[in-house]
Structure 1
Amino acid sequence: MAPALAAEASEESMESITVVGKSVSYANNQTSDEMMKQQTSMTSVLAAIDNLPGVLINEGDTFGADDWSTSISIRGFQVDLSQQQIGMTVDGIANGNSNYGGGAKANRYIDTENLARVDVSQGTADIASRSHEALGGTLDFVTLMPGVDERLVVSATLAEFDGRKFFARYETGEIAKDTFAWFSVSNQESSDWMDQTAENVRDHFAAKVISTIGDVNLTAYASYDDTHEDNYQRIYGLSQFEQNSNWDQLTSEWTGIPYQDQAYRRGWSTLRENFFTYLKADFTVGEVAFSTNVYYHNNEGRGDWVPPYLVNVTDDGEGVGHSEVVSGNTVYGGDILGQIFFVDRAGVQLSPIDGCVSSISFPYGGAGAEYDPGCHEQGAIPVGSYRTTNYEKSRIGINGDFIWDARIADMDNTLRGGFWYEDYTRDETRSWQKIIDSATSYRFDETPYWVQYDREFPVETTMFYLEDQLDLGFAKAHFGIKQFFVDVSKNDRFNAINDQGVSSDSDLLFSAGFVAPLPVTGLEMFAGFAQNYASIKDAVLERDDSDLSLVKPETADNFDLGLRFSSRDVSASLTYYATKFDDRINFVSNETVTGIDFLESAAGGYINDGGIESTGFEASLSYQLSENFSVYGSYTSNDSEYTDAEYLGNGVIGAAEQMGVVSIDWVRGNHYAGLSTKYVGERWMNQANTAAVEAYTVSDFYLGTSIDDLGSSVESIEINLTINNLFDESYLGTVATNAAWIGAPRTVALNLKAAF
């Protein structure tokens, strides 16, 4: 069975996959080969789905080399710094939340060149999907299957902004009876597109094995990803963008003035290591097909900032040097006594000159006299901190599914069900390290002078589902039920009085739908309804002053109604959808235009903030014009509005009302090219709808050729040129409350790939 499985997988990865998805009761689409070609091999796997109807992906640069600025929007649901409302899986396995602080999106698990396809369910989604973030659909990123033949694929990419990537994948062929595998390795580097000062580095290792033992098909996958990203920063308000559309207010040079150096780009960093592995078994017992897997995931890393002061956490007495200035002293927890900005050579805190008015005007509109070296006597020594939030998460889980095909009263009936169990613990600490010499660099003492907190978040998830599908002849109808049981806790290792926990169980969730063929050959109608749910995340428990009685799980009702058509040269879909999203959990940020509350001393936390209602249409069309030319188009009309009393009827932040894509692709022999253009309509920047991000249009171009039959040692050589944002459109990408990240400029990349 394994040789057939490998051959089938190899063919699947090579053929053009239609964007019109499976014949099911909900809207779904798949990426195509052409969509993959529009992106460079350095690009994040998230970018591959941007042309599908209803989907908007924004990243800080073309390569997706910054999780901080990344967002996904589908039908008014968002994944960004503060919201996780769209489910994400890897080969059908839960990704472990998509949040910045301890979560991981699919780009942490998969190298772009190992991606077979992405299955996108925009709304109701499949009942078996493993996620407790899937309020508005799911994204399943499917890895490439091993091929039958032994081969080596090597690839080198050179791009603008110091971009380069080296990739190699060895496909073993049959290494043992009915056993096939591949192993890959890659190294990637780039800088930021604004000043070319960022140091973005990514190392990725992965392997996949398939085998048949008796009547059991086994699949195993493992990946390790080590990433260092220097972030892009949001700009606040439209005036900053109008003033300079190529600068995010982070600096490239160290000034020696701590207040200004809090905006130093290399001090805004995300470091993550992710190891993920699973083992899957598929087998049949009698008339029942079973599929089960176990998986393990470990995530660790940190997020960095550069506060322009030391925190005074030790009462050293009057007129003596502060112990925070001396290396080797660490305080765990405790109270904040104040901030230290300048000291003398003995480490004694200095006060600014009476009546001095600061001349510092950047960033955040300027600073007070305590931050300004010009307001201190000559010889004052600036001091500052390097603050790291340190994350570690370990997940272990098991999934089980069954499918039983039978007949009821001469009608085909399929009963399927399954479960998902996951246990994880996320650790989070925050450390403050003294910058060794704030006058000269951001290098810091590796021994912290203060560990602000140390806490762990155990989370246990159990999900069950059951669905029955009956073929009535004129239609296939299904009905399903699903329920989650989620327990979330916090254990404070410094102060047990802050321990807390919450049960985040769902109600019984119902889904139903049908698919009915129509009299026109290849045309079918579908309709689906599902109650979706997102659990309370452990991040809600982070703040010690969180009142969990004010927070409950998010819920959403999703309805799809549509038509789907498929023929030899044409495939098309049209979907009307309506969603009602209740009990939206919203984070009240502690970062504003006036600066960052590094100590989190201001009020901030998570609350249920009303809800959202969305209605709209999604359409897609693929048409093979001739032997050489094909065209693809998608259109989205979306109306997402808040339902809470204060902003009732106002448009949702970051949700585009109109989106459209047109792609033309050309193939002649071994040569190919394509041009794709996407329009994104106006998006609101605030709930009051008093400021909006302008519409934008970006185009991506690719051109390539392959040379085959080069002899016994070389199977093929491919050369690919990719130009993203071809016409260098200036625009705003990810949108947050009263803020947005600047979109990536034109980026050119050249890739050379060889197979042996």
Structure 2
Amino acid sequence: MRMNFACGVAFAALMIPGAALAQSTGTVEAEEGSEIVVTGARGPATVDGIQIPDSPKARAVLTQELIERRAPGQTILDTINLIPGVSFTNSDAYGSSGGQIRIRGFDGNRIALTFDGIPLNDSGNYAIYSNQQLDPELIEQVNVNFGSADVDSPTAAASGGTVNYRSLVPTDEMGAIGVYSHGTNRMNRAFGLLNLGTLTSFGTKAWVSASTQKYDQFRGPGTIYKQQYNGKIYQPIGGGNDFISVAAHYNQNRSYFYSNPTYANIRTRLAALNSSLPNNTTGTSASAANPYTLDLNNRDFDYVFDDTSSTYRYDYTCDLQSNPGGAGSQTDRNSCNNVYATAFNPSNTGNVRINSRFDLTEKLLFTFDGAYSWTRANGGGSTLLAETDASATSANGAYTQQYAQTSGRLGAGTAAGVDLNGDGDLRDFVRVYFPSNTRTQRFTAIAGLRYQIDRDNLIRVAYTWDRARHRQTGEASLLTDAGRPQSPFSALDGEGKSPILDAAGNVFQKRNRLSYAILHQLSAEYRGGFFENMFKVTLGVRAPFFRRNLNNFCYTIAGQSNDAYCTSQTAAQVAAFDAANTSVTLGAPYRNRIKTYNRLLPSAGFTYNFTPAISMFGSYSKGLSLPRTDNLYGFDDVSISPVAAVKPESTDSFDLGLRYTNRLIQAQIGGWYIGFKNRIISSTVLLEGGGTLSVDRNVGSVKSHGVDASVAIKPLQWFSIYGFGSYTIARLQDDATDPLSGRVLAPTAGKFVVETPKWQYGGRAQIDFNPISIGIQAKHTGDRWISDINDLKSAGYTLVDLDARLGLGGVGLERTFLQLNVSNLLKERYFGNLSTVTNAFPFVVGTTTTAAAGPRVTFGAPRTFIGSIHFEF
């Protein structure tokens, strides 16, 4: 059905070293002998898209052969959920609403994600945004390194490993692919790829693609819209393997958040049902010594899921009381504070990428990868502003600003306030759109030299440079009468519609800062083969030099990294406010505050082939994850300094295992251990309208170990089966302390790391009887802790997915097929994404009784059907 296209890609990959692996071109070239992965009959063995490379590192690979079986448009991070040790929870069945990933207990902020060798993690908080990834039809393959990074990886956060994927190479012949999909919740998606073939006598070839997707949320109001455009030009050089490739990518998301209940909401709802479950009894008095498992039966889950009140769902419409205003006082305190339109997540992202390879001599090879990438995004949110400064901090409970103190800010020290709704008085409380805007421009370059000493030995050196300009603001703007934003990015740079201006004429905002995240890295690696290549070794070292240049144009609020005290007041007026309010400590604006982090990161590994099919592998690598750039703004190191500065995290990762690989079987089992020092955790508090506050702190060491295993077998040409499993133990070794005072905040010593399932297992089976092909896969994700002190956890769940194809060759359409995907086939009720907290129930530290936190949980997507027709010409 896709034979011509697949073979074309396979042939291109075989002829062009570096065309298949997702790391930098230099790393691909160093691994050329054993790890070229293609979607065709030649190349390393795969079992229906599953491959285990002959690598010293614990690594797994999935190729387009399997990727294309998943639901069209699905994020690639959902596809790798079939790899042992990986836990990904999708916000919905289609992948455009985001999700959360963990690998061996490490969250997405500690996992490096690369695309054609360039970094995709946010440069401010190192987060991975799963809904912004390349269309799956364009991904040749994806590979996962567990607990390690390649020596030339441009990353500040890879203590948990790396996920790498690479776009496909243009074909020599002209061709086209079109896919249209329709699914549950009015999902419609169209994808088109045009391979332009060979365009010049020099062998230039290219492809272009476009896609669009739109669907309703499966619960509550809100529509998810996504469009994406891609292109790639490939130019071979000379008659050898040299080439230059230039590619471009643009992605636009317009999505709304799902309304997620807190644990307290669920307990209250079930009390109304008079449930026999302990949610209404012992569920209120659990503790770390007597933890509670959130495990609802089908009746209770559906009762909570089906609640249409504003406690559990966003409102579709609202009536802004302050607009148009009038005589007397109007207030939006209970108006439009739960409307879906401000629970908004717009993003525009794009990049231009260069990959290249040049043989300088018979033994000396030069590679260069470079990229320019950009981002514009925010997470929505609204807040309430008092028109008069006196009301903004009134002691009678009228309203206290939740994002940051507001006394004097609207009046700017020159007036009593501002008439926001234009009704001629200062008596109103006006709800406004108040997102946290981020714009990033990033340059990346990786240059490498590889010298082939002889047939069995090579050395390579590389220089990596990465510079991200991270601009973060938080402009407020007026909402429409129905409580909707007038511009997705508010009054960004004062250019949006209806900005909120203070009495001095400046845009009212909650943050205004500029960061530069800069990396200079030198690296070297040796690869050698001994005893006729039966024994292979790698020795490497990374020497990264990180620099953070921080500029805060607002006053720092102690411990608050997301928000600041932005004002047009004079320094004397701010100082008077600071002195009069003992609950807040402010630090003056600053420029060019520098933070540097340097570390030597060695790595080593080996493989020993007992037979061509059986081998042993082992590796050691030292990893590093820096404090998140965003959270460095919780202090200023002058008037606000932590007792102990947040230190970079470091890991020592060990793997040892066995492999059995041939054309029929791909099997691997391995044990691993990771020593994790200076682990950073953040307390995250959900604010009105969707905003959050977070504070970083080190909680000492984490010790984790486990076993990962997988086996893929194709005993018959028409049948394959794959099974995998992982066992993970990850425990904190120390208590959490307050970085401002040094006191113990929470007894986390000995507790299991949140969101990390101890057990994961599953498998996939596929049968192919032309013109019919059917695949079914299942995965069980075990219990996951929601709180750092382990007083609340979410029960495990099992998801089953189905994919089926019908080829239309019998009616003359040789390369056209119909495809059906069903996710959550058995309609499992479960909670997916978890909003983790320090504690879910009160506990005592010293003489202080802590308050219970309100963790939120996300409903897992129900059963979803997607039908597609795939044309190819």
Pair 348,690 (structure 1): closer, same or farther in 2 beyond 3 Å? same
Counterpart among 500, 516, 522 of residue 448 in structure 1:
500
Structure 1: distance between partners of 2:417 and 2:71: 46
- SS, match of residue 97 in structure 1: coil
Deviation per CA, 1:44-78: give whole Å up to 9, x if none. 222111111111111210112223xx110111100
Q: Which amino acid aligns with 1:220?
A: V
Q: In structure 2, the residue corresponding to 1:590 is in which secondary structure?
A: strand
Residue 72 of structure 1: aligned partner: 101
Residue correspondence of structure 1 range 296-315 to structure 2 within 5 A: 296-310=372-386, 312=388
Aligned-residue offset at 1:295: 0.8
Q: Of the candidates 578, 595, 620, which is equivalent to residue 503 of structure 1?
A: 595
Deviation of 1:261 after TM superposition, in Å, equals 2.9
Paired AA for residue 467 in structure 2? D
Pair 1:430 & 2:478 matched: no
Deviates further, 290-299 or 398-407: 398-407
Please point out which of 555, 559, 572 is paired with 2:667: 572
Corresponding residue to 1:461 among 509, 515, 519: 519
- Code of the residue aligned with 1:23 in structure 2: it is D
List aligned pairs for 1:116-135, cutoff 5 A.
116-135=140-159
How far is 1:250 from its partner? 3.0
Decide which structure has greater strand share.
1
Report the counterpart of residue 220 of structure 1 in structure 2: 246
Correspondence 1:493 to 2:553 = yes
1:308-352 residue CA offsets vs partner (Å, 9 max, x unmatched): 444656999x9xxxxx9xxxxx989968999999999543326xx
SS of the residue corresponding to residue 788 of structure 2 reads coil
Instruction: Give the C-alpha shift of residue 418 in structure 1.
Output: 0.8
Name 1:670's counterpart in structure 2.
Answer: 771
Q: Secondary structure at the match of 2:156?
A: coil
User: Could you tell me which residue of structure 2 aligns to residue 5 of structure 1?
Assistant: 12
Contact 1:575–1:617 under 8 Å retained in 2: yes
Distance 1:118 1:557 in 2: 25
The residue number in structure 2 matching 1:539 is 630
Q: Match for residue 552 of structure 1?
A: 647
Q: Relative to structure 1, is the Cα distance of residues 179 and 746 closer, same or farther in structure 2, using a 3 angstrom cutoff?
A: same
Q: Is the 8 A contact 2:336 2:483 kept in 1?
A: no
1:333 and 1:300 map into 2 onto residues whose CA distance is 30
The one-letter amino acid paired with 2:340 is R
- 1:182 equivalent to 2:258? Answer no
Aligned to 1:378: none
Query: Once the 2 structures are TM-superposed, how far is the Cα of residue 550 of structure 1 from its aligned partner?
Result: 1.2
Tell whether 2:261 aligns with 1:235: yes
Alignment of 1:99-248 (within 5 A): 105=129, 107-176=131-200, 177-195=202-220, 197-214=221-238, 216-237=242-263, 240=266, 244-245=304-305
The separation in 2 between residues aligned to 1:656 and 1:315, in whole angstroms, is 48
Q: What amino acid maps onto 1:559 in structure 2? A: F
Select which of 338, 349, 357 maps to 2:427. Answer: 349
Q: Give, in whole Å, the separation in 1 of the partners of 2:425 and 2:629.
A: 40
Contact 1:258 1:309 (8 Å CA) reproduced:
no
Q: Secondary structure of 1:42's partner?
A: coil
SS of equivalent residue, structure 1 residue 5: helix
For 1:277-292, list aligned pairs within 5 A: 277-286=352-361, 287-292=363-368
Deviations 1:248-307 (A, max 9, x none): 823233243643632222211111111201112101122022210221001112221122
For 1:357, the equivalent position in structure 2 comes to none
What RMSD, in angstroms, separates the aligned Cα atoms of the two structures?
3.3
1:30 deviates by 0.9
Matched, 1:749 2:845: no
Of residues 76, 85, 105, the one that matches 1:54 is: 85
SS of alignment partner, residue 40 of structure 1: coil
Q: CA deviation at 1:735?
A: 2.0
Which one is further off, 248-257 or 289-298?
Answer: 248-257
Corresponding residue number in structure 1 for 2:116: 91
In structure 1, C-alpha distance between the alignment counterparts of 2:867 and 2:691, rounded to whole Å: 41
Deviation per residue, 1:534-585 (Å, 9 max, x gap): 1233212233566476112111111100011112211100010101111122
Instruction: Specify the SS of the correspondent of 2:77.
Output: helix
Counterpart contact for 2:451–2:459, Cα < 8 Å: yes
- 1:105-133 deviation per Cα after TM superposition (whole angstroms, max 9, x unaligned): 46524112211111111223433333221
Alignment partner, residue 633 of structure 1: 723
Q: Secondary structure at the match of 1:589?
A: strand
- Farther off after superposition, 684-693 or 428-437: 428-437
Q: CA separation in 2, counterparts of 1:89 and 1:665? A: 30
Q: Distance in 2 between matches of 1:337 and 1:75?
A: 56
- The residue type paired with residue 858 of structure 2 is W
How far apart, in 1, do the equivalents of 2:415 and 2:261 lie?
32
Deviation at 1:206, TM superposition (A): 0.2
1:728 aligns with 2:786: no
Query: Per the alignment, do residues 253 and 513 of structure 1 end up closer, same or farther by CA in structure 2, a change over 3 Å counting?
Result: same
Asked if 1:31 is matched to 2:47, the reply is no
CA distance in 2, matches of 1:102, 1:333: 37
**What residue identity is the alignment partner of 1:620?**
S
Contact 2:154 2:519 in 1 (8 A): no
- Which residue in 1 is equivalent to 2:342? 267
SS of structure 1 residue aligned to 2:38: helix
Say if 1:262 and 1:341 are closer, same or farther in 2 by CA, change over 3 A. farther
- Where 1:745 maps in the other structure, the secondary structure is coil
Superposition pairs of residues 581-730 of structure 1, within 5 angstroms: 581-591=676-686, 604-645=694-735, 646-708=747-809, 716-730=815-829
The aligned counterpart of 1:293 is 369
Deviation at 1:656, TM superposition (A): 0.3
2:229 is paired with a residue whose SS is strand
Q: Which runs of 5+ in 2 are unaligned?
A: 1-7, 21-36, 267-295, 320-331, 395-400, 402-407, 487-496, 502-507, 556-587, 736-746, 837-854
Report deviation, 1:93: 1.6
Secondary structure of the corresponding residue to residue 434 of structure 2: strand
Identity of aligned residues (%): 19
| Structure 1 gaps, min length 5 | 319-323, 325-329, 351-381
Deviates more, 1:302-311 or 1:506-515: 302-311
Comparing 36-45 and 440-449, the one that deviates more:
440-449
Correspondence for 1:371: none
Partner of residue 363, structure 1:
none
1:372 corresponds to: none
Cα distance change, pair 4–435 in 1 and its aligned pair in 2 (3 A): closer
Matches within 5 A, 1:320-339: none
Once the two structures are superposed, residues 572-624 of structure 1 have per-residue CA deviations (whole angstroms, 9 ceiling, x without a partner) of 000101011111222222327xx579696xxx422222232110000000011
Partner of 2:74: 43
- Deviation string 1:140-172 (CA, Å, 9 cap, x unpaired) is 011111112101111111111121111111001
Give the whole-Å Cα distance in 1 for the aligned partners of 2:88 and 2:633: 28
Task: Identify the match of residue 421 of structure 1 among 447, 465, 476.
Answer: 465
Quote the residue 1:252 is aligned against: 315
- Where do 1:363-378 residues align within 5 Å? none
**C-alpha distance after superposition, 1:450-503 (max 9, x if no partner):** 223321111211111111122222521222111111111221235673346343
Report the CA distance between 1:510 and its aligned residue.
1.1
Could you give the per-residue CA deviations for residues 83-115 of structure 1, whole angstroms, max 9, x where no partner exists?
Answer: x0011100122224377x796646524112211
Structure 1 residue 245: Cα displacement: 3.5
